[in-house]
Amino acid sequence: MKHLWKLAMGLALAGVISATAGAASGQQDTAAATARKLGTVKSITGKTLVLKPDSGADVNVTLLDGVRIQRVAPGQTDLKNATPMALAEVQVGDRMLVRGKPGDNDSIQALSIVVIKAADVTQKQQHERDDWQKRGTGGIVSTIDPANGTIGVAVTPTLTISVKTSKDTGFLRYAPNSIKFGDAQKGTLDQIKTGDQMRARGTRSADGKEMTAEEVISGTFRNIAGTITAIDVANNTITIKDILAKKTVVVKINSDSQMRKLAAPMAMRLAFFLKGGTAPGQGGAPAAGQPAAGGGAPPAGGAAGGSQAGGGQSARAGGGQPPDFQQMLSRIPSVTLAELQKDDAVMIVATQGGTAGSDVTAITLLGGVEPILTASPNGSSAAALFSGWNLGGTPGGDAGPQ
Residue spans per domain, the chain: 2-116, 136-219, 222-390
- pLDDT per position as a tens digit, 337-392: 989 999 999 988 888 765 545 568 888 899 998 988 888 766 666 665 665 455 54
- Torsional sign, CA 140, 144, 146, 150: negative
Confidence band for 324, pLDDT divided at 50, 70 and 90: low
Among the residue ranges 163-167, 223-227, 339-343, 395-399, the one predicted with the least confidence is: 395-399
Average pLDDT on 165-177 reads 90
Tell which residue, 294, 317, 316, 313, has the closest CA to residue 389.
313
> CB 357: neighbour CB atoms within 10 A?
10
Looking at residue 367, its pLDDT comes to: 92
DSSP state of 280: S
User: What per-residue confidence (pLDDT) applies to 148?
Assistant: 95
CATH class for the region spanning 2-116: mainly beta
pLDDT band at 327 (very low <50, low <70, confident <90, very high): low
More reliable by pLDDT, 241 or 297: 241
What is residue 326's predicted lDDT score, i.e. its pLDDT? 59
Contact predicate 380/374, CB 8 Å: no
Name the residue with higher pLDDT: 337 or 156. Answer: 337
Supply the pLDDT for residue 278: 56
pLDDT band at 4, cuts 50/70/90?
Answer: very low
CB 321 within 8 A of CB 208: yes
Question: What is the Cα–Cα distance from 27 to 20, expressed in whole angstroms?
Answer: 11
pLDDT for the residue 55? 80
- pLDDT score for 186: 92
pTM of the model: 0.62
pLDDT of residue 399: 39
* CA distances in angstroms from 35 to 17, 23, 100, 251, listed in the order given: 11, 15, 5, 46
Residue 273 has pLDDT above 80, yes or no: no
Question: Top-level CATH class of 136-219?
Answer: mainly beta
Cβ atoms within 10 Å, residue 257: 19
Q: How far is CA 78 from the centre of its chain?
A: 26
Q: How far apart are CA 269 and CA 135, in angstroms?
A: 26
Question: pLDDT tens digits for 24-49?
Answer: 444 444 434 588 889 999 999 999 99
Residues 6+ away with beta carbon under 8 Å from 378: 243, 244
Q: What are phi and psi of 187, to 5 degrees?
A: -130, -170
Between CA 252 and CA 67 the distance in angstroms is 51
Given a contact cutoff of 8 angstroms between Cβ atoms, the answer to whether 212 and 221 are in contact is no
Q: What tens digit of pLDDT does each residue of 107-138 get?
A: 899 999 999 998 888 888 888 888 888 898 88
Higher pLDDT: 189 or 54? It is 189
In order, the DSSP letters of 324-350 are: -HHHHHHTSPB--GGG--TT-EEEEEE
User: Is there a contact between 259 and 335 (Cβ–Cβ < 8 Å)?
Assistant: yes
Amino acid 299: pLDDT: 27
Is the per-residue pLDDT at 213 higher than 60?
A: yes
Question: What secondary structure letter does DSSP report for 128?
Answer: H
**Amino acid identity at 399:** A
Q: What was the pLDDT predicted at 258? A: 84
Q: What's the pLDDT score for residue 378?
A: 62
Q: Would the pLDDT of 313 be above 50?
A: no
Distance CA 301, CA 282 (A): 16
Mean pLDDT over all residues of the chain? 76
Which of 7 and 179 is assigned the larger pLDDT?
179
The pLDDT score that the predictor gives to residue 351 is 80
Name the more confident of 70 and 275.
70
Residues 6+ apart with CB under 8 A from 206: 294, 295
* DSSP annotation of 313: -
Which pLDDT score is estimated for 354?
Answer: 57
Decide if 107 contacts 60 (C-beta within 8 A).
Answer: yes
Burial 6-22 (b: 16+ CB within 10 A, else e): bbbbbebbeebeebbee
Rounded distance, CA 382 to CA 377, Å?
9
How far apart are alpha carbons 2 and 7 in whole angstroms? 9
Instruction: Report the pLDDT value the prediction gives residue 125, as an integer from 0 to 100.
Output: 80
CB-based burial label for 103 (10 Å; 0-12, 13-18, 19+): middle
- For residue range 179-189, what is the model confidence (pLDDT) as tens digits? 677 778 899 99
Sign of CA dihedral 250, 253, 256, 259: positive
Q: Do domains 2-116 and 136-219 have the same CATH topology?
A: yes
CA distance 257 to 334: 11
